[in-house]
């Protein structure tokens, strides 16, 4: 696969959109084998991003974010309490809306994207995972 080290001098200064051709010119090894360019984007805004909001996402916000990410072509969207399934608690902070209600809203909103959850052993349980 070659040296994949990114050096500061190799990093373009982006002042707008970068075309696919420009990306390939700057990373020629990416074009060598199409299988190596296969990429899956996972967005964790609705899970990890909830820490910044004290786990207060609403169903309306989840639907809006999922809809936008889905239209943008994001393949996997993570939705749950910031600390994963079962995280809404005295220790980690209570969610504004039940996480299963948010997951349901995300699944209903997504046209193409898959909805994922985080489960940390010792916090989430098999019951949480099956319910999700």
* Residue 60 belongs to domain spanning: 42-131
Q: How far apart are CA 87 and CA 28, in angstroms?
A: 43
Q: How far apart are CA 69 and CA 64, in angstroms?
A: 9
Number of residues that this document lists for the chain: 132
Residue 115 forms part of a structural domain? yes
Say if residue 123's pLDDT is above 60: yes
The yes-or-no answer on residue 51 being catalytic is yes
The whole-number pLDDT of residue 122 equals: 85
Residue 22 forms part of a structural domain? no
Residue 3 forms part of a structural domain? no
Q: Which one of 51, 81, 127, 128 is the catalytic residue?
A: 51
Residue 28 forms part of a structural domain? no
Quick one: CA torsion of 57, 61, 67, 70, rounded to 10 degrees?
-30
How many structural domains comprise the chain? Answer: 1
Residue 63 forms part of a structural domain? yes
Pairing of strands 114-116, 42-43: unpaired
Convert the pLDDT of each residue in 7-64 to its tens digit.
656 555 555 666 667 666 666 555 556 565 567 889 999 999 999 999 999 999 999 9
Q: Are 54 and 94 in contact (CB under 8 A)?
A: no
């Amino acid at each position: 696969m070659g040296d994949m080290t990114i050096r500061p001098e190799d990093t373009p200064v982006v002042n707008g959109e970068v075309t696919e051709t420009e990306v390939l010119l700057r990373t020629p090894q990416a074009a060598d084998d199409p299988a190596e360019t296969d990429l899956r984007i996972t967005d964790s805004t609705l899970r990890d991003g909830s820490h910044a909001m004290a786990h207060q996402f609403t169903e309306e916000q989840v639907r809006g974010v999922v809809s936008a990410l889905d239209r943008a072509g994001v393949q996997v969207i993570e939705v749950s309490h910031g600390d994963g399934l079962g995280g809404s608690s005295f220790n980690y902070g209570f969610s504004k809306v039940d996480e299963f209600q948010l997951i349901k809203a995300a699944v209903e909103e997504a046209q193409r994207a898959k909805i994922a959850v985080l489960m940390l052993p010792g916090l989430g349980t098999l019951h949480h995972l099956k319910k999700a």
